[in-house]
Amino acid sequence: MGKKYWQHFAEINDPENLDKFSKDEFADELPFESFDAGVLTDAKAPRRDFLKYLGFSTAAAALASCKMPVRKAIPYANKPDNIIPGVAKYYATTFVQEGEVLPVLAKVREGRPIKIEGNEKYLLSGGGTSARAQASVLDLYDLYRIKYPQQKVKDKFEEIPTFEQADKLIADAIKAAGGETVLLTSTIVSPTARAIISSYPGLRHVQYDAISYSGMLLANEACGFGKKIPFYRFDNAKVIVSIGADFLGTWLAPVEFARGYAQGRKIQDEKNPDMSRHYQFESFLSLTGCSADIRATHRPSETGWVAVSLLNAVNGTQSPSLLSDKKLEETLKKAAADLLANKGKALVVCGSNDKNVQIVVNAINQAIGAYGTTIDWSTPINTRQGLDADMEALIADMEQGKIGTLMIYGANPAYTYFNSERFKKALERVKVKISFSEKMDETTSLCQFIVPTHHYLESWGDAEPYAGCISFIQPTIYPLFKTRHYLSSLLKWSGNNKDYETYFREYWISKLGSEEELNKALQDGVKINPSASGSSGSFNGSSVSQAVAAISSIKPATGDELVLYQKVSIGAGAGATNPWLQELPDPVSKATWDNYAMISVKKAEELGIKLDINYEYYPHKPVIRLKAGNKEVELPVLVFPGMNANTIAVALGYGRQETLGATASGVGKNMFPFTSSNGETISYHAAGIQIELLDKKYKIAQTQKHNSYENRKEVVRETTLASFKKHPNVIPEFSKELKEAFYEKSKGDFRSHATLYPDPDTRQNEIHWGMSIDMNACVGCGACVIACHAENNVPVVGKSEVMRYHDMHWLRIDRYFVSDDKNPDDLKAVVFQPMMCQHCDNAPCENVCPVAATNHSQEGINQMTYNRCIGTRYCANNCPYKVRRFNWADYTGADSFPDNQDQKLIGKLDPAVHQMNDALSRMVLNPDVTVRSRGVIEKCSFCIQRIQEVKLKAKKENRKLHPDEVKTACQTACPTQAIVFGNDADKNSQVSKVRAANALRSYHVLEQLHVLPNVTYIAKIRNTEEEDHHWAEGHEEPQHADHGNKNQQHQHEGH
């Protein structure tokens, strides 16, 4: 038995066939026509025709280029003083979506926002962002936004020409309707919005969150803290136990939590290594579970029992075991022991929406001294306040016809409510229905009036993500469409004639003291008011025994269970309309453009799904029918290790209606109908599920197997803390051995051996760019991938093209499972490895390019010149890291020939690709980066445009370059600061310091190939006592350069 790093089951179950299949570049047969004798002239494209077309197109191209088009240059009529064309400005604002509130900066070029950056003044994120915050700038330019106020006339929406008319129509309608007026929103975090809503005469305000945290709110109330959610300080925790909380991906405030978490996960002192320990108890393999040191799975229905068992173990109470699984029991005991050993430095979080479970979790936190240390009650989180009971009451009132007017902002119950049919019926009884939605979502299309609100990048506003922290929103662009801030509408209808901007200014000037103070706050983006934070509260354990009793009385479930989760990209559905997010491979499954049923290896065996090469290699996946009560759905299946045997996990947020646009419609299945209510709170799991394998296949576009390393080692370096302590020098020794082997051959000249280029050491060496990626800190959230998309104009290719291995991500995050090579289901760890161009100083891609379109710069960058590339793809074939991307089709519409996108041979591109090429969507493009046309290779450039910009800035200011001045897009986006970039020739740069501080774990991927990459990775350490023999053996016999060459040749023969 040995440890194995693997990406899909075929590597373990069917290695011979996999090797054979990996030789082909693509899974599909290539559409070559047969060359039988005599049929050449009858072929679809005979040679003569081909030559005719060739001649004609050459002549046409030559003729076309003889006449240059007349281009206009239109300056401003009155240039605003603060705009210099070509120079970007950054404005502080706040991303607010589906309960995620994140202070950000918007990069604005010539008046259009094109990129989101984190706000470093917001210390809790430290400038980090999430994938959805990064992608939000594309939502601004969404073709399918609602462009003007509308009213429904005979089931069809018609434009209302002016807002005045709309105001009059609506005022009359509200008056005529009588009854109660209700504003239904998602959680309101804006202080001004709260003030406006409360001053609206007779308005009832109901907050409803698509993903409910009612259980927590009620539990905290029962424990004496009030209906609030505290702030969790993961940075203070030495031991973290999560019971199904995806706190690194989607739970509460993932960016802030991930940053705090990473501080404890990074090893500060390698000589004396220490890091926090993370236990995860969950039913399926979640993003957060992937980062855990110790994981145990349980049935979703057992969540309460897990919490109670942990409480008992922490309290030392002897009680009959409720759990059947031995391993689970043992892990819980171990976790309890660790929690107790680290009192005051321990934290338990739980993702359940059940009040009783959360009360038990609170009791555990009280027992381990978490309150006041790792749980901060002085700054409660405001982003989730919706109570399921309020919504229930509202629907009951609607059904009884008590509600005359329903205004809806930020909520979409017709899609997200567990009993959406009931909601829709109840909605019919409401006389006046007004939606403020930006998009034609499921609820909005049932409304009668639509008064669309602005995108956050177009509007004023404020948000209070946690008590005492105000984050401001300011417009970065004039509203693109005829929209109005929903608060302006509310102000108007409540009889206040101020517009929201005036109200906002007056409100904050009076709060902050002066206009200067407000302007300063707007400039900074965030304003912390320490005195505004609340009291810390104290724990009241009176409800615990009742909660324990309630949980213990639940009977164990049998059969299969369903758990519904959110993806980092789509969330509860807000990301579904965003092409970047749809194409972001899910961190765990690496699947794009779909939701699917995640099932366990055992369940696959039961269903008779063979995990062989046929399952893994082709996109066609088996389909199951999933039944719960009277609801059923057909879903494709993906099999994962480390799942609870009887749990099936499916993502929410898919299966949207057509009006939301080409990107969202027809993608995945809606799983909200499978959520349920226990009378008090909504639950996101279900027992008593029946599944049935259908005789059907469905294609899923997964990216993980696209790039094969052809069994080369070592790509991933990972071990346990115990093994690392015992054998700290494994990596440096490996490196040393390699070097010595080279020294013999290259007569002592290690670096310059085997290169066609001038000796790298003779290049000027004052600036040399390098990157370090800490795999201990990387949680796989995907923010960097989207940041790279936005910064570098990386095209969206659509599902059909991803399936053909044509995905264009410059930066991908490889996911590796770690297990025994015999027992893949016994998942030990998951490693995320962000992989991009390694900018090798001895790059194998450079010397195979016949036209020198890719070559090396003095500053250590592997340059790619699109306009010189003729598309031989030799470089991509010779790249050991498989990071070069080829434009197989005209994804961007940048070709010189119009209408070149849908072709017979290429096939039709997906509608989402065309949406990205619309003039409106193209406004998001970064004007400093070439939009690549068909037939050229592209890849990570280390954000060369940023490097050039910063160098020019230094020159303009007549000063030296600061070592950490240049920051790549992936680096600034990363919430855990796992990616560090800088001038590694300067010993004072952060990248040099990080490499020096982590010298025992820093390594190059495939170092033995001697390609001298400029990206170093820091090996991942799991905090367990387990002995890792694979690591202790050190490694396999170091492979020398000629071994690598052999491999390369091997690869060439394959093609």
Partner 1 sequence: MLNSKFLENKKKLNRLFFYGVPDLLLQRTPGIYPHFELLQPMIPCNAILRLSFLYISITFSVFILHAQDGKQLFSTKCASCHNIFKDLTGPKLGGVLEKEKYGGDPKKTYEWIRNSTSLVNSDPYYSALKNQWGSVMTAFPDLKDAEIDAIWDYINKTYAAGNKPKPAGDDTAKDDLKKANQNSVIFGIITLILAIIALILAYVNSNLKKMSDDAEGIIRPEPVPFYKNKFYIALLSVLLFVVGGYLLAKGAIGLGRQTNYQPEQPIYYSHKVHAGINQINCLYCHSSAWESKHASIPSVNVCMNCHKAIQAYEKGPEIIDENGNKIDGTAEIQKLYKYAGFDPKNAAKWDPSKAKPIEWVRIHNLPDHVYFNHAQHVRVGKIQCQTCHGEITNMHEVKQVSELSMGWCINCHRQTKVDFNYSEGKGNQFYSIYEKFHNEIKKGKMDSITVSHIGGLECQKCHY
- Which residues are near partner 1 by CB under 8 A? 61-62, 65-66, 68, 70-79, 84-87, 758, 764-767, 850-853, 855, 857-859, 861, 863-870, 894, 928-931, 941, 944-945, 948, 951-952, 954-956, 958-961
Q: Which residue type, as a one-letter code, is found at position 782? A: G
How far is C-alpha 259 from the geometric centre of its chain's CA atoms? 15
Residue nearer to partner 1 on the CB measure, 538 or 765: 765
Query: Least distance (Å) from partner 1 to the CB of residue 107?
Result: 15
As to burial, measured by CB atoms within 10 angstroms (0-12 exposed, 13-18 middle, 19+ buried), residue 821 is middle
Query: Least distance (Å) from partner 1 to the CB of residue 515?
Result: 24
Spatial separation of the C-alpha atoms in residues 319 and 308, rounded to whole Å: 10
DSSP 660: G
Backbone angle region of 84, left / alpha / beta, with phi > 0 → left and psi within -120 to 50 → alpha:
beta
Residue nearer to partner 1 on the CB measure, 513 or 758: 758
Residue nearer to partner 1 on the CB measure, 61 or 1032: 61
Residue nearer to partner 1 on the CB measure, 146 or 861: 861
Query: Least distance (Å) from partner 1 to the CB of residue 45?
Result: 24
Residue nearer to partner 1 on the CB measure, 77 or 153: 77
Residue nearer to partner 1 on the CB measure, 133 or 837: 837
Residue nearer to partner 1 on the CB measure, 41 or 958: 958
Spatial separation of the C-alpha atoms in residues 816 and 704, rounded to whole Å: 9
How far is C-alpha 343 from the geometric centre of its chain's CA atoms? 33
Query: Least distance (Å) from partner 1 to the CB of residue 131?
Result: 25
Spatial separation of the C-alpha atoms in residues 387 and 225, rounded to whole Å: 16
Residue nearer to partner 1 on the CB measure, 407 or 894: 894
DSSP per position, 553-571: TSPPP-SEEEEEE-BTTTB
Beta strands 156-159 and 150-153, pairing class: antiparallel
Beta strands 1020-1022 and 718-720, pairing class: parallel
Query: Least distance (Å) from partner 1 to the CB of residue 974?
Result: 22
- The strand ranges marked E within 482-630 are 526-528, 560-565, 591-592, 597-600, 620-628
Quickly list H helices, 588-640. 601-607, 613-617
Say which residue the tokens 């979080």 belong to. Answer: 349
Query: Least distance (Å) from partner 1 to the CB of residue 869?
Result: 7
Spatial separation of the C-alpha atoms in residues 225 and 376, rounded to whole Å: 11
Query: Least distance (Å) from partner 1 to the CB of residue 998?
Result: 26
Query: Least distance (Å) from partner 1 to the CB of residue 857?
Result: 5
Residue nearer to partner 1 on the CB measure, 11 or 859: 859
Query: Least distance (Å) from partner 1 to the CB of residue 920?
Result: 20
Query: Least distance (Å) from partner 1 to the CB of residue 71?
Result: 4
Residue nearer to partner 1 on the CB measure, 40 or 952: 952
495-499: long-range contacts at Cβ-Cβ below 8 A with a sequence spacing of 24 or more? 495/201, 496/199
Query: Least distance (Å) from partner 1 to the CB of residue 1052?
Result: 22
Query: Least distance (Å) from partner 1 to the CB of residue 70?
Result: 6
Q: What is the 3-state secondary structure (H, E, C) of 179-246?
A: CEEEEEECCCCCHHHHHHHHHCCCEEEEECCCCCCHHHHHHHHHCCCCCCEEEECHHHCCEEEEECCC
Spatial separation of the C-alpha atoms in residues 587 and 567, rounded to whole Å: 9
Spatial separation of the C-alpha atoms in residues 360 and 363, rounded to whole Å: 5
DSSP per position, 878-945: H-TT---EE--S-SSS-SSSTT-SSBTTTBPPPHHHHHHTSTTGGGGS-TTSPPP-TT-EE---SSHH
Spatial CA neighbour of 150 closest among 165, 142, 160, 162: 160
Report in angstroms the alpha-carbon separations of 783 from 476, 582, 943. 22, 13, 16
Q: Which residue type, as a one-letter code, is found at position 691? A: I
CA-based radius of gyration for the chain: 29
Spatial CA neighbour of 253 closest among 468, 461, 99, 96: 99
Residue nearer to partner 1 on the CB measure, 868 or 1046: 868
Count Cα neighbours of 855 within 13 Å in the Cβ-side half-sphere.
12
Query: Least distance (Å) from partner 1 to the CB of residue 64?
Result: 9
Spatial separation of the C-alpha atoms in residues 540 and 224, rounded to whole Å: 5
Query: Least distance (Å) from partner 1 to the CB of residue 530?
Result: 39
φ and ψ at 807, to 5 degrees? Answer: -60, 150
Are 314 and 288 in contact by the 8 Å Cβ rule? The answer is: no
Residue nearer to partner 1 on the CB measure, 96 or 864: 864
Residue nearer to partner 1 on the CB measure, 1 or 66: 66
Residue nearer to partner 1 on the CB measure, 73 or 153: 73
Spatial separation of the C-alpha atoms in residues 124 and 102, rounded to whole Å: 10
Residue nearer to partner 1 on the CB measure, 131 or 1015: 1015
How far is C-alpha 672 from the geometric centre of its chain's CA atoms? 21
Are 523 and 92 in contact by the 8 Å Cβ rule? The answer is: yes
Query: Least distance (Å) from partner 1 to the CB of residue 944?
Result: 5
Spatial separation of the C-alpha atoms in residues 488 and 497, rounded to whole Å: 9
Query: Least distance (Å) from partner 1 to the CB of residue 757?
Result: 8
Query: Least distance (Å) from partner 1 to the CB of residue 54?
Result: 15
Query: Least distance (Å) from partner 1 to the CB of residue 79?
Result: 4
Residue nearer to partner 1 on the CB measure, 986 or 1007: 986
Residue nearer to partner 1 on the CB measure, 30 or 73: 73
* 729 Cβ contact list (under 8 Å, min separation 6): 1000
Residue nearer to partner 1 on the CB measure, 68 or 153: 68
